[in-house]
């Protein structure tokens, strides 16, 4: 599909979310059309953009391995179901497709893989400015995917023009850094050659047999590493409390208020891997929606010592699993580490946190939590470096 469009559906949806004016499914192309159930809708109306209406079956710039341009209905449906678990999301999609057929409509909702859905939701809510699945708008390289109002190109509806007239115009790098006249700095490359040493090659490039060839992955966006949590009810760390633990160094009971999500992400500065930006990690409790290549991105597995956790893993035998992936066990301070964990080998980091007591969550009462978290991150970072994670590349096999 063309990477440029007059009214880009992805940008419109992201802007409507930012403006807190949700898009509305309608059954007619008129701006005054009333709301309709998603199964009967033919268009999507955007109140934030002067009630602009776009077809719900239109393709978008969101590209997956299964489809080049995921349609608007599928994108909108994924956003509506952003906080539901993966099985419920899949079941809801199947129900909606059945309702579409019953209503005599055409098209269907495409199921997105869990990494694709997380990447989409993160971009739509504005938590990320880049996406490996969104094709940039024509002529804007990677910047068109960032969702700015000024990114819409072509002829603009007069009502939208009134809105866009209030946007702040940003200069490009020529006008900001060099003035109106572009400057040719190509001669600097020749002068710098003497001082710049060739960067060491990523292990993936050595397999080509040419150590002097540039890495084939150097220009690609590094995928997000994945951390798997234990789905066991006895686990001290679940999706409900893992973010506060890993990002803030603060343990709270998992039965407290959760995020309502089936997956989430945390960020961590890892300067030995990427000195310029924090690394974003995807956290999920199971690999049910994994594609085979996702296993190369798994950097840690949290476990309680129960082998049933691994029945759907690529490596179902714990000793074999922990030859490939770092294990993390977190228990109560003073309790004995389970014999199963000890028997699975030295590739499992064992940690202990203070028992939770009423009032122990106040400031300063859990000062040792941060020490435990730093130890976990140190082990994960060392394992990632050993596996080949770099600023612009991930391992092709673990």
* CA-to-CA dists, residue 68 to 5, 63, 360, angstroms: 16, 5, 52
State the Cα–Cα distance between residues 371 and 242, nearest whole angstrom.
15
Query: Sign of torsion, CA 30 35 36 38?
Result: positive
- Which residue do the tokens 């977190």 mark? 330
Q: Burial code of 169-191, b = ≥16 C-beta within 10 A, e = fewer?
A: eeeeeeeeeeeeeeeeeeeeeee
- Max distance between CA atoms of the chain, in angstroms, equals 71
Q: Give the bridge partners for 54, in sequence order.
A: 44
pLDDT at 170: 53
pLDDT tens-place values along the chain, 398 residues long: 334 445 889 999 999 998 889 999 999 888 888 899 999 999 999 998 888 999 999 999 998 877 788 999 999 999 998 877 777 888 898 999 999 888 888 788 888 887 888 888 888 988 777 788 888 876 555 444 444 433 343 444 566 656 655 555 555 444 455 444 455 555 666 566 555 554 444 443 333 333 333 333 333 578 899 999 998 888 999 998 999 999 999 898 887 544 456 788 899 999 989 998 899 999 998 888 788 889 999 999 999 999 999 999 999 999 999 999 999 999 999 999 999 999 998 899 999 999 887 655 444 557 889 999 999 999 999 999 999 999 888 888 88
Residues contacting 41, CB < 8 A, separation 6+: 25, 26, 27, 56, 73
* CA-to-CA dists, residue 390 to 77, 273, 301, 383, angstroms: 35, 5, 20, 12
pLDDT at 266: 92
> Taking a C-beta distance cutoff of 8 angstroms, is the pair 387, 395 a contact?
yes
Report the run of H or E that residue 348 belongs to, with start and end: strand 348-353
pLDDT at 129: 76
Q: How many CA atoms lie within 13 A of 67 on its CB side?
A: 17
Q: How many residues does the chain have?
A: 398
Q: Which domains does the chain have, with CATH numbers?
A: 9-164 (no CATH), 226-387 (3.40.50.11990)
pLDDT at 263: 81
> Taking a C-beta distance cutoff of 8 angstroms, is the pair 26, 41 a contact?
yes
- Which residue do the tokens 């699945």 mark? 133
- DSSP letter at 59 equals B
Q: Burial code of 13-27, b = ≥16 C-beta within 10 A, e = fewer?
A: bbbbbeeeeebbbbb
Query: Sign of torsion, CA 325 334 246 237?
Result: positive
Has this prediction a pTM greater than 0.75?
no
Query: Sign of torsion, CA 383 387 388 390?
Result: negative
State the Cα–Cα distance between residues 327 and 348, nearest whole angstrom.
4
State the Cα–Cα distance between residues 298 and 295, nearest whole angstrom.
5
- Which residue do the tokens 């590739």 mark? 347
Pairing relationship of beta strands 263-268 and 226-228 according to DSSP bridges: unpaired
* CA-to-CA dists, residue 259 to 255, 262, 265, angstroms: 11, 8, 11
Residue 43 backbone dihedrals phi, psi, to 5 degrees: -145, 165
pLDDT at 195: 58
pLDDT at 115: 80
Q: At 220, list the tokens.
A: 């690609």
């Amino acid at each position: 599909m063309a990477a440029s469009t007059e009214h880009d559906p992805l940008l419109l949806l992201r802007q409507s979310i930012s403006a807190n004016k949700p898009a509305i499914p309608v059954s007619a192309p008129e701006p005054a059309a009333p709301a309709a159930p998603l199964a009967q809708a033919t268009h999507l109306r955007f109140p934030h953009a002067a009630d602009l209406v776009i077809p719900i079956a239109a393709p978008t710039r969101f590209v997956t391995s299964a489809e080049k341009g995921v349609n608007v209905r599928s994108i909108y449906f994924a956003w509506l179901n952003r906080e539901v678990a993966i099985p419920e999301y899949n079941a809801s999609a199947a129900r909606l497709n059945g309702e579409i057929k019953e209503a005599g409509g055409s098209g269907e909702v495409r199921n997105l893989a869990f990494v694709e859905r997380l990447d989409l939701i993160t971009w739509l809510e504005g938590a990320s400015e880049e996406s490996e699945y969104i094709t940039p708008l024509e002529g804007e390289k990677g910047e068109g995917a960032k969702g700015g109002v000024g990114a819409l190109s072509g002829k603009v509806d007069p009502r939208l023009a009134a809105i866009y007239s209030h946007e702040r115009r940003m200069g490009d790098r020529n006008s900001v850094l060099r003035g109106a006249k572009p400057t040719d700095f190509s001669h600097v490359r020749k002068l710098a050659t003497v001082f710049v040493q060739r960067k060491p090659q990523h292990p993936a490039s050595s397999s080509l047999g040419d150590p002097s060839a540039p890495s084939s992955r150097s220009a690609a966006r590094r995928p997000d590493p994945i951390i798997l949590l234990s789905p066991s009810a006895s686990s001290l760390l679940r999706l409900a409390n893992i973010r506060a633990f890993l990002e803030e160094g603060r343990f709270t009971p998992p039965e407290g208020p959760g995020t309502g999500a089936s997956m989430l992400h945390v960020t961590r500065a890892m300067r030995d891997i990427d000195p310029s930006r924090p690394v974003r990690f995807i956290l999920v409790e199971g690999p049910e929606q994994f594609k085979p290549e996702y296993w190369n991105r798994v950097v840690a597995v949290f476990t309680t010592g129960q082998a049933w956790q691994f029945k759907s893993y690529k490596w179902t035998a714990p000793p074999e699993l922990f030859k490939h992936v770092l294990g993390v066990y977190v228990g109560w301070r003073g309790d004995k580490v389970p014999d199963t964990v000890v028997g699975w080998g030295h590739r499992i980091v064992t940690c202990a946190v203070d028992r939770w007591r009423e009032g122990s969550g106040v400031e300063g009462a859990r000062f040792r939590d941060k020490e435990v978290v730093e130890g976990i991150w140190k082990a994960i970072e060392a394992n990632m470096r050993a596996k080949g994670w770099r600023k612009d590349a991930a391992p092709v096999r673990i």
